[in-house]
Structure formats: structure tokens, C-alpha cells
Amino acid sequence: MTSDIWLPYPADEIEGLPEGLDYRYWDGQDDFPADPADCAFYVVPYLKGPKISVRPLAGMTSVRVVQTLSAGTDHVAPALGGLPGGVRLCNAKGVHEASTAELALALVLASLRGIPGFVRGQEREEWRSGFYPALADKSVLIVGHGSIGAAIEDRLAPFECARVVRVARSARTTERGPVHALADLPELLPEADVVILSTPLTPETKGLAGADFLARMKDGALLVNVARGAVVDTKALLAEVERGRITAALDVTDPEPLPAGHPLWHAPGVLISPHVGGSTSAFLPRAKRLLARQLTRFAAGEELDNVVLTTEGGTRPAGAGE
């Protein structure tokens, strides 16, 4: 049975890896480190783009696990259809929550308190005093209440929000309170001062924040996207922000990277960060700990963490979770 493990970091830089496995270093280079057919566990290089991420998969006829280092798996899942049945796709739950939640709060606070305008004012030596919106007493709607959405809510707690409303694919009850279903959004959006998108990109959520969604947001509301760019309909968003009816803070865009000359760059009331929610100093130590845990489980024949889908018979992936 094959035992090659493809890692995007040298094995000697990861503490706690089990012995007895053949570790191959590959971080997206042109040449593969070994025959892909001998790979049993493939760790997808981080932030290399979908084209590089899926390039070796066609030859990985013996692979049993595909592990991403991102919370989302939409850049890899479509390429799993030709693999044998039973291949497990695992995401990096536990790696990105803290950093992404930090950025979500930073974008909310920067947008509400007018930080981009202060930066521009400093460059021009202008003293831009006045009254600005606060997060205190605002109603916040979190769309996508998985582990990242929950981490965002944890960080909202000290800010004295009027209320935090949770939405996920299906309704449920948590220790924090009720979670509403996506179907409830039309009733919830008009009451929210801040709407934070942290949902995975799925067929159900692609274009979720479209014209109707945005039109239901109250005048002056802020939309924050730390999910995936395609969750928002860019054309519809531009129509709303150019009218000045709502504002937006976007860590992700569609298209991405945002090309020079795109109208989003200079749209009024829009703050853009370049998809840096998870890429912080906290990433690498947490990613390496995840890999050590997963590979220890793999070597021992134990169940893996964070399995989001398992392939069916080499035809198509199935069983994706929220």
C-alpha cells in the first residue's frame, strides 16, 4: 500500500509527524517530488490558486486523503470527481477562526468609525473631526454560523451590540441561542445594522447577497464579507454603494484578485482588504499542528478530523457539510 505523504512544508519543520511514512515536499513547483500515483495523503499548497492546487490530482490514483489548509474547499472539491471512491476531503477547521474573526471585527470597526477617511486625512494633513457610527447598540447579523461565524460572535461580545442574530443553512439551537435558517433572511435583513458574511461557498450560497438581499438591507447598513467573493453579486453591490444607500467592507471579491481599473476600488463607502483573513502569524503554527494531528490519526488508522466530503466511486464528490 502506498505511503507517500505530500506536504507543502519540509517534514523536518513540522513537529510531531509520525514515523514510517514517506514525506515528499511539494509547494506547487513545476516538478513533482515523486510519482503522484504513489501519494496516499495530499496536503494542498496554501494560497497557490486552484490551478496549482488540483494539478497533481489527476494522477493520484491511490490517494486516500486530500487535506486543505484553508477553511473553504471550493477550489479543490470540483476536481475530485475522477478519483476513486472513499477519498476523504478535509478542511482546516481550527486554523483560521481566530485570524478571520479578528479581521471581520477590524473591518467592521474601521468602516463604522471612518478609519479609511482618517488615513486619507492624515495624508492631506486634514483634521476630520465629527461624530461617527459606533458598534455599540448596533444589531449585527452573522450569515454563516459555523466555526468562523461563532468566533466572530465571541469577539463581538465586549462591544455592547444591541443584539447578534445568527443564520446558517438550517435552523438549530446552540448555547449562544437560536440559529435561523437561510430562508429567514428576508425577515432578518431589514433589522440589521451590520451584516457579516462568513458562509462557505456552495451552490446555495453563490450569489446569495444579490439584488434582493441587498435591497432588503436597511439604509446605512454595512455589509462585511469574509467568506468568498462569489457569495456577493458584485454588480448588485456596486449599484447599492454607488447610490450611497449602504456601505461595504470586503476581504474577498468577485473577481479576485480585483483587477486594476475595477469600479469596486473607488466605489464610495467600500473598504477592501486583499483576502488576508487567514494569512497571519497565527496560521503556520496552527497549520503544522493540524497536519501532525491528522497524519498521526492517518498512520494509526483512526478517524480524521474535519472531513467535509467523501468521494463516491470515482464519479463525483458527495456529502459536503456546512
Task: Check: CB of residue 295 under 8 Å from CB of residue 18.
Answer: yes
Residues in the chain, total: 322
**Amino acid identity for residue 200 in this structure:** P
Which stretches of the chain are DSSP H helices? 50-54, 97-113, 115-123, 147-156, 185-188, 211-216, 234-242, 283-299
Task: Check: CB of residue 99 under 8 Å from CB of residue 282.
Answer: yes
- How close are the terminal C-alpha atoms of the chain, in Å? 32
Return the HEC string of 78-93: HHHHHCCCCCEEECCC
What is the CB-side half-sphere exposure of residue 73 using CA atoms within 13 A? 25
Task: Check: CB of residue 216 under 8 Å from CB of residue 241.
Answer: no
- Tell me how many degrees the CA angle 49-95-134 measures, rounded to the nearest 5: 95
State whether residue 168 is helix, strand or coil.
strand
User: Distance between CA 186 and CA 182 in Å, rounded?
Assistant: 9
- Most distant pair of Cα atoms in the chain: their distance: 69
For residue 238, what is its C-alpha cell? 456596486
Is 96 an active-site residue?
A: no
For residue 268, what is its C-alpha cell? 464610495
Task: Check: CB of residue 66 under 8 Å from CB of residue 88.
Answer: yes
Catalytic residue selected from 75, 145, 180, 275: 275
* Catalytic sites, residue numbers: 275
